[in-house]
C-alpha cells in the first residue's frame, strides 16, 4: 500500500466534506487544498490542517508529490478543463458529476486516463448510500430475481434548485436525475439503454433561471426491461427537508421498496418550526460520526489509489449515464422518443461499448 498525497480543487460544500474525510483518513500522507474564495479556504484549512492551501489550483497540479486529485469545483463548465489538466499532470482523478458537458469531451478524458494508466472516476455518491447498496445486492445475489422495472422519484428544495440553476443552465436530468440514472443502470448491468422518452415542466424556474422545474424519464433497456426516473428541484422553501427520494425495484422473484425521504428524524423548535435534519444527499458531519454517503465515497477513492484498485464508478459508465440524460433533454425538447444505438459486440460490459449515436425514434401513431 502506498500513502496518498491528495489535492482537492474546490472546497465548497462537497469539497469541504471530502477535505475533512481526507484529513481524517490513515490513507492520506499529505492533504493539499485549493479554493478561490479566501475566507472559505481559511475556514477549511483551519479544520483540516493541510500541507498547503492556495487560491491557484495549478499549484497543486505542478506539485510532483501529489499523486491524486479530487475536483469539486463549480460551475460545472470547469470540470472538463480541470480534469484534462489533472490527467495531463499524471494524477489519479475523482471528478464530481457531470463528467463533462459533451460526449466528445468525455471521450477525450477517458482516452487520456487510459493512455496514462490513471484511475478516473466520477462522483456518483448515491452508490455509497447503504439503502441503495442494499437494492443492488438484492439483485446481484438473486433475492428478487432478474430486474423487470424500476421507479425512482427524487425531489430537492427550491433553495438548492435556485443555487444550481443560477450557476449553470443544465436540466434536472443532468444535475439531479443523473444520480438515479447511474444507480439504476448499475443495478441493471450489463443491460444497456436503447430508448429514452422524457417530459419536463417549465412553470417556476424557467422565468428566472432558464431551467426546467422537473423532468420525468422513461428508459427502455436492450432486454425489454424499463425504468422511470423523476427529478425536480422546486419543493417549497418551507419544506423541512433538503432531499426526498422513493425507490421501487421490481424483479422476477420479488420487489424491494426504499423510503429515502429522510423523515425518520424530526426536529421541532419554536424558532424554526419543523425540520428534518440529516437530509442532504451528500450527508453531513455530526460531531464524531458522519451521516451520509460522500465520506464513504471519498474513502473508497483513497483506498483505490493506495492499493491500485479500480473505483466502483467507471468513467465509461458515467459516459453512458450522460448519453441517457442528454437523450432525455433531446426527447423533451422534440417531444418524441430518442433511440440510443450500440455496436453489436459480444461480452461488452454496460457502458464500455463505443458510442454510435442517438437518433429520434419514429413518432408513435395516434388514433384519429
**In the predicted model, what is the mean pLDDT of residues 126-155?**
97
Q: Which of 118, 151, 186 is the last residue of a domain?
A: 118
Grid coordinates in use for 307? 492499493
Mark whether 108 and 137 lie in a shared domain: no
Indicate if the pLDDT at residue 149 is higher than 90: yes
Whichever domain contains 47, its CATH number is 3.40.50.720
For residue 141, tell me if it sits in a domain. yes
Tell me, what's the pLDDT at 1? 84
Q: Is 29 exposed, middle or buried (0-12, 13-18, 19+ CB in 10 A)?
A: middle
Closest CA to 147 of 177, 190, 183, 187: 187
For residue 313, tell me if it sits in a domain. no
Mark whether 155 and 95 lie in a shared domain: no
Tell me, what's the pLDDT at 350? 43
Mark whether 19 and 155 lie in a shared domain: no
Mark whether 99 and 148 lie in a shared domain: no
Mark whether 100 and 187 lie in a shared domain: no
For residue 37, tell me if it sits in a domain. yes
For residue 177, tell me if it sits in a domain. yes
- Coarse DSSP helix, strand, coil percentages of the chain, rounded to the nearest 5 percent: 35, 30, 40
Indicate if the pLDDT at residue 358 is higher than 90: no
Q: Which of 118, 146, 170 is the last residue of a domain?
A: 118
Indicate if the pLDDT at residue 365 is higher than 50: no
Whichever domain contains 348, its CATH number is 3.30.360.10
The pLDDT tens digits for 265-299 are 999 999 999 999 999 899 988 999 998 999 999 99
The pLDDT tens digits for 309-357 are 999 999 999 999 999 999 999 999 999 999 999 876 544 444 443 434 4
Indicate if the pLDDT at residue 199 is higher than 90: yes
For residue 96, tell me if it sits in a domain. yes
Q: Which of 85, 118, 151 is the last residue of a domain?
A: 118
Question: Per-residue confidence at 239, pLDDT binned at 50, 70, 90?
Answer: confident
Tell me, what's the pLDDT at 183? 98
Tell me, what's the pLDDT at 366? 37
Mark whether 19 and 145 lie in a shared domain: no
For residue 368, tell me if it sits in a domain. no
Q: What CA–CA distance (Å, rounded) separates 264 from 237? A: 20
Mark whether 58 and 96 lie in a shared domain: yes
Mark whether 143 and 227 lie in a shared domain: yes
Supply the range of the domain harboring residue 55.
4-118
Mark whether 143 and 34 lie in a shared domain: no
Grid coordinates in use for 358? 442517438
Mark whether 183 and 143 lie in a shared domain: yes
Mark whether 16 and 77 lie in a shared domain: yes
DSSP sequence for 269-296: ETTTEEE--S--SS-EEETTEEESSHHH
**Number of domains making up the chain:** 2
Q: Is the bond leading into 98 cis (omega within 30 degrees of zero)? A: yes
For residue 287, tell me if it sits in a domain. no
Tell me, what's the pLDDT at 309? 97
Q: Is the dihedral of CA 186, 155, 19, 166 positive or negative?
A: positive
For residue 124, tell me if it sits in a domain. no
Mark whether 200 and 174 lie in a shared domain: yes
pTM of structure: 0.91
Place of cell 478561490: 36
Residues 6+ apart with CB under 8 A from 130: none
Amino acid at each position: 500500500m502506498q500513502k496518498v498525497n491528495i489535492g482537492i480543487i474546490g472546497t465548497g460544500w462537497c469539497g469541504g466534506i471530502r477535505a475533512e474525510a481526507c484529513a481524517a483518513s490513515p490513507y492520506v500522507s499529505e492533504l493539499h487544498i485549493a479554493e478561490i474564495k479566501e475566507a472559505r479556504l481559511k475556514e477549511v484549512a483551519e479544520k483540516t490542517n493541510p500541507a498547503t492551501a492556495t487560491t491557484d489550483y495549478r499549484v497543486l497540479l505542478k506539485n510532483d508529490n501529489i499523486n491524486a486529485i479530487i475536483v469539486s469545483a463549480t460551475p460545472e463548465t470547469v470540470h472538463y478543463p480541470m480534469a484534462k489538466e489533472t490527467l495531463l499532470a499524471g494524477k489519479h482523478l475523482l471528478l464530481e458529476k457531470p463528467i463533462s458537458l459533451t460526449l466528445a469531451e468525455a471521450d477525450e478524458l477517458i482516452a487520456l486516463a487510459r493512455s496514462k494508466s490513471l484511475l478516473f472516476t466520477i462522483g456518483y455518491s448515491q452508490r455509497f448510500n447503504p439503502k441503495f447498496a442494499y437494492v443492488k445486492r438484492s439483485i446481484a445475489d438473486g433475492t428478487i430475481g432478474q430486474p423487470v422495472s424500476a421507479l425512482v422519484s427524487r425531489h430537492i428544495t427550491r433553495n438548492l434548485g435556485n443555487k444550481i440553476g443560477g450557476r449553470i443552465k443544465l436540466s434536472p436530468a443532468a444535475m439531479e436525475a443523473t444520480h438515479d440514472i447511474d444507480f439504476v443502470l448499475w443495478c441493471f448491468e450489463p443491460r444497456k439503454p436503447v430508448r429514452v422518452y422524457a417530459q419536463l415542466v417549465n412553470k417556476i424556474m424557467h422565468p428566472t433561471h432558464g431551467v426546467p422545474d422537473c423532468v420525468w424519464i422513461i428508459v427502455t433497456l436492450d432486454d425489454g426491461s424499463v425504468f422511470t426516473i423523476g427529478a425536480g428541484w422546486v419543493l417549497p422553501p418551507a419544506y423541512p427537508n433538503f432531499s426526498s427520494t422513493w425507490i421501487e425495484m421490481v424483479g422476477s422473484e420479488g420487489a424491494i421498496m426504499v423510503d429515502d425521504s429522510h423523515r425518520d428524524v424530526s426536529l421541532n423548535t419554536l424558532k424554526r418550526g419543523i425540520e428534518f435534519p440529516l437530509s442532504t444527499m451528500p450527508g453531513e458531519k455530526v460531531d464524531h460520526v458522519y451521516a451520509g454517503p460522500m465520506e464513504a465515497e471519498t474513502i473508497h477513492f483513497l483506498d483505490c489509489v493506495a492499493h491500485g484498485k479500480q473505483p466502483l464508478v467507471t468513467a465509461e459508465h458515467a459516459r453512458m449515464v450522460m448519453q441517457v440524460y442528454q437523450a432525455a433533454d433531446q426527447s423533451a425538447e422534440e417531444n418524441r422518443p430518442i433511440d440510443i444505438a450500440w455496436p453489436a459486440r459480444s461480452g461488452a460490459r454496460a457502458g464500455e461499448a463505443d458510442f454510435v449515436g442517438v437518433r429520434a425514434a419514429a413518432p408513435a401513431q395516434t388514433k384519429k
